A and B are shown apart, each in its own frame.
Chain A
């Protein structure tokens, strides 16, 4: 009986498989090529973005060297300008928390805010510290430069004194140098991995499994939106998750007037990736989540997402360039921006994840 059944089963399977393989040639409804999508993303968006950022990072590092060798107002201004350019560029790579970046916890060494000023000052006065230590993730990256270039003293004159006449001027200069070396080193490492080995692995990992690059990439992408963009830049300072507002938790707290710029830059980066564009410019035969959803006949969802992005952007543009100011004077506008951003989370985590049937939460248990 069992033998008979087994033979029958095998036969049925074979017949089934054979008869179906002839059907393949005729009508394929979804021929969405996931490998091509990943290839487009890596070659036309991810790697160029990292290259752009890496070159800005190199500029920033050399501006830092110029400043630390001769700390004066001109070099301070130059360093500040370079920092701002690099910080904006960085918003375009933060979401690629995959491969080497994930392994190194890249984004946690680059942009954790609010900064721990205590840790920074202790490190500087001790003179010895290990920036690779996870405990010092909030004592380095862009936020520490924000502090050291704008917040370490009240006036530019006093700031410059920290690097010239202060008893520990050497310590302050060394910290700038060390932080910049760390940032540049990590960036180079991540970029090199993309251009050497990781690219191939990435574009070929299209399975629908918890560990495939495709699924992880989508997860990272949504997490970037939900945590790094929606919560960190808007929700937390606006007091959405706490009983009081927390304006001191805005991005670039010491420089103050660029928090909106950085947020819009991140939103652009997010939107560009969804559309398959590179910094606003469309590319022939582009392929990204937009095209993926269209292939699944979900233009309705694509429209909802792009509309909501536009609405969010309009609301953000109404805000003060300085979010610290905005939260303190009129937090309602800030929470309104948050609410618009929040609506998109529903489309992403719920509708998009469901349409692609890529689970946002990988649960290791049975279903029925």
Chain B
């Protein structure tokens, strides 16, 4: 390590941005969990299906029956404890584990922003986000004014990666030259007031949105970094996310991103937020806890700098160094696979590729007796929810896992010499559908692995996709 590196690592900055981030992050997570529950998604996504799609290597992570509710309660409570900064370290570890467990239960529900929350909460385990303005500080009767600067920078870096990589992924011919998939999605929003029946239908608007989205993603991390452009950047952030929220069913994600980007602001802005909350929310509130807190604020011992102990540094630096390096490299793993990424989706997930594809599939499974050649087709409704069927139909790893499930099912039913074939078609970004999986391959014999799946029929459309 050079002196400069060490100098950077010991640099201190005001803790306010991180503690405000902690508060908002915790609250947003609490809201997300409550919203998820109220929407009945615990039942429809985790309890009703008979079968769950697992991530490779995580087939042991399954919904826990009625205890799944308990899991969500644990997750919500830990989010709340993170927000108020009570037993912060245990709370954020619990949150990370419970949230990640929920996401691993069924990959049907995979969303990039769920993954973002998982890695962000992992990072936060190592950050002193309870340094001040937290119950922990109140109980220990001491708070820190400053924390190492890198702790805040690491969150900025993670946010920057999300945006910038999402921008890089848009540098492809479908997005730039065909305005796909916005050309399909935007006109279908014809029922939006004012702009639905005119603006949304315009060719030039689809291109404007495509290029606008691209520039936004690539530039916003930098615009947020510089003080001069920061306010405008934030306005852009709000506008962009609110606009996409109107257009697409993306739940809490826009709000999470809007709130998260506040971390780019200077510490006096966050101090104002803290002051505002203390003055208006905590004082007005007459509950015992808050009352005590504001009363005894005076007796809190203020320490200038928070520093990690030597042993902690030895643990945290390599872990986070490796973690951040992985975050930078992992999204490029698709380069290790042959074939068209949008088609095979090998290396598609966990790499900030959002809103890039209008992709749909139709997969019809055929159970064959290898000896007699007798066969029948499977009715997917018998085994999968509509949502699972939709997601399964165009993703090879889902198709394979389901083929094995079907094979096992019919074998257990007493069928002999079971082979599983699939008639599978996929349509991508406005192209005509074509055969997706080799219909002559017995999927029951193929195993999941990180290797290339050679039973995917190569992407054959004349309209190629060129890009990163």
Contact = CB atoms under 8 A, between A and B. Distances in A.
Contacts of B355: 368
B425 A239 contact: no
B202 interface: yes
B453 interface: no
A206 interface: yes
Interface in A107-158: none
Interface in B328-383: 354-355, 358, 360-362, 364, 374, 376-379
A29 B432 contact: no
B188 interface: yes
Given A5-B235, A20-B199, A350-B433, A363 B386 contact: yes
A133 B199 CA distance: 51
Interface of A: 1, 4-5, 8-9, 12-13, 17, 20-21, 23-24, 27-31, 34, 206-209, 212, 235, 239-243, 296, 298, 300-301, 304, 342, 345-347, 349-351, 353-358, 361-368
A346 B362 contact: yes
B386 A361 contact: yes
Q: Which 4 A-B pairs have the closest CB atoms?
A: A357-B188, A366-B251, A207-B191, A24-B198
A335 to B, nearest CB: 10
Contact of B194 (A17, A239, A354): A17
A368 B379 contact: no
A136 B71 CA distance: 45
A242 B39 CA distance: 37
Contact of B201 (A30, A298, A356): A30
B130 to A, nearest CB: 25
B202 A5 contact: no
Interface in B177-200: 184-185, 187-191, 194-195, 198-199
B239 interface: yes
Nearest to B44: A364
B269 interface: yes
Contacts of A23: 198-199, 202
B56 interface: no
B253 A9 contact: no
B184 A355 contact: yes
29 contacts: A4-B231, A5-B235, A9-B239, A21-B194, A23-B202, A27-B202, A207-B191, A208-B188, A239-B376, A300-B432, A301-B432, A304-B432, A349-B362, A350-B425, A353-B360, A354-B358, A355-B184, A356-B188, A357-B185, A363-B386, A364-B44, A365-B39, A365-B249, A366-B252, A366-B253, A367-B249, A368-B112, A368-B250, A368-B354
A215 to B, nearest CB: 10
A5 B238 contact: yes
Given A29-B201, A350-B433, A355-B430, A365 B41 contact: yes
A1 B251 contact: no
Contacts of B358: 354, 357
B421 to A, nearest CB: 14
B433 A346 contact: yes
Contacts of B249: 365-367
B87 interface: no
Contacts of A9: 235, 238-239, 242
Interface residues on B, range: 35 or more
Nearest to A239: B376
Given A241-B378, A364-B41, 5 more contacts: A5-B235, A28-B198, A350-B362, A362-B386, A363-B390
Contacts of A351: 427, 432-433
Nearest to A4: B231
Nearest to B203: A29
A29 B186 CA distance: 13
A366 B430 contact: no
B442 to A, nearest CB: 18
B425 A365 contact: no
A96 B33 CA distance: 40
Contacts of B390: 361, 363
Contact of B235 (A12, A31, A300): A12
Interface in B218-248: 231, 234-235, 238-239, 242, 248
A278 B122 CA distance: 62
Contact of A28 (B109, B202, B251, B360): B202
Nearest to A34: B190
B376 A242 contact: yes
A113 to B, nearest CB: 18
A69 B188 CA distance: 57
B387 interface: yes
B389 interface: yes
B42 to A, nearest CB: 12
A338 B195 CA distance: 44
Contacts of B142: none
B376 A342 contact: no
A358 B185 CA distance: 10
B168 interface: no
B274 interface: no
